[in-house]
Structure 1
Amino acid sequence: MRPYFFRSRRGMGFMFLSLDRVGVRHGCTLVLLSFIGFLFSGSAAQAVPLLISEVFYDAESSDDGQVFVELAGAPGMSLDGFRLEGINGFDGGVTTELVLSGVMPENGVFVVADVTGGGVSFVDNADLFLEFDFQNGPDSMVLWSAEDTVLDAVGYGAFSGIQFFAGEGSSAPDARAGSSVARFFADLDTDDNAQDFGVLYAPTPGTAEFLPIPEPGTGLLVGSALGMLALLRRKTKGISPQHVSETVDSI
């Protein structure tokens, strides 16, 4: 079973897919944390250091004008002079360098979108348009400040002992075509990519989950939810990829 997570208008949920070369084969469990509004008070963007919150590097068809990088940070902060670098997992060389500009929007999420050679982008909610194509994993991405300080880094994919990992802690999973690698909470950074990132079933440029503020007594409810998640995972039965998409869209 491979874990994915998704976002909907009611919150964040998780699903477990078993994949082979033709798609979902052995099952899927969908659990939506729809009661998140009862457990936590608010999920607005907070004044956090600038972080890489989502990376979509492998579209289902052509990557041209489809891929993006999403950043999360304090609303109103200037991004002029900040840089994003793609780091080759084979030799550690810089494959892509993007010089950023602009201001972080009020929702605390900034989307850097790829454009085609003709200047067209198909990315929703984009704030900055540049031409780029970050490589599939295993690779890394590093975020630099205007003062040449490393602010964040994420490595995605399975790195062997001789490959170059430029992320934090252990690597995040490698997303299949059409999915992205994203933080579970855009403002939460434990300095371990494997803990902070998951595979987002459907990319959500310009939309992110921020760490909720827990109210007293919610720990037991959260623990119960996780226990239910584990139980449902064991009782999974096979469903089709189309059913997965329709279920997520209906939530």
Structure 2
Amino acid sequence: MEVIIRPSTEQAVDLVARLIIARLKEKPDATLGLATGRTMERLYANLVASGVSLAQCRTFNLDEYIGLEPGDPNSYRSYMQTHLFDHVDIDPANTHVPDGSASDLKKAAETYEQAILAAGGIDLQLLGIGEAGHIGFNEPLSSFMSRTRDKSLTPTTRAQNAEMFGGNPENVPKRALTMGVGTILDAKELVLLATGPAKAAIVAKAVEGPVTSMVSASAIQMHPNCKVVVDEAAASALSGRDYYDFVFQNEPEWEDYRT
């Protein structure tokens, strides 16, 4: 795992965008795993503005609320259409979001896993991190072997996401369909993007704390090709930043990203 700390949110987002664009230039038909959230809105705006082509890509989103139809303005399908898919040249048939409105959630989860396998697996999985320590909606005690499934959301997660539901956590769905931790770890490359002071404590736990199912994001420590990109605020609780900065300044792979 490598931790890259940038001075500002804009620079952290820009680095991740450049990394994704580089991967798409290397492999135009890459399969991307996508995430949602406020920070990701900035990232997707950056990708749209870059003009990068996604014409040959396939995408798989991490999760979706259970009980929301795809056309619901609060669904993650609507989020992706609004912030990315409607503004790039991707084939809509190649964009995948878990079906939270399915009558048979177990079958929908199995179908999602099969679709990922049929696509050859995920080349680059983009991740955020929740204040409860989750990646996707893998809340505390999620097995590191878990696959796509339905999951109950913690009060912390519902409160964090309440802004999109009129500010009332009670309006946030109680459950979601999410890729499992095992599904996420199967991706060839992980890139976790986190910004802001509210993420500092949980980023430190995920990166430097024990590997534990109580913080599902800590599973990224076991991945052989994982990058964590944070701004100064989100990095403020990290104890090893001198080494992280040294690696970023000296590893040849980051030469093009230091400016």
Q: TM over 0.5, yes or no?
A: no
TM-score (norm 2): 0.26
Q: Which has the larger radius of gyration?
A: 1
Greater strand content: 1
Q: Under a length normalisation based on structure 1, what TM-score does the superposition of the two structures give? A: 0.27
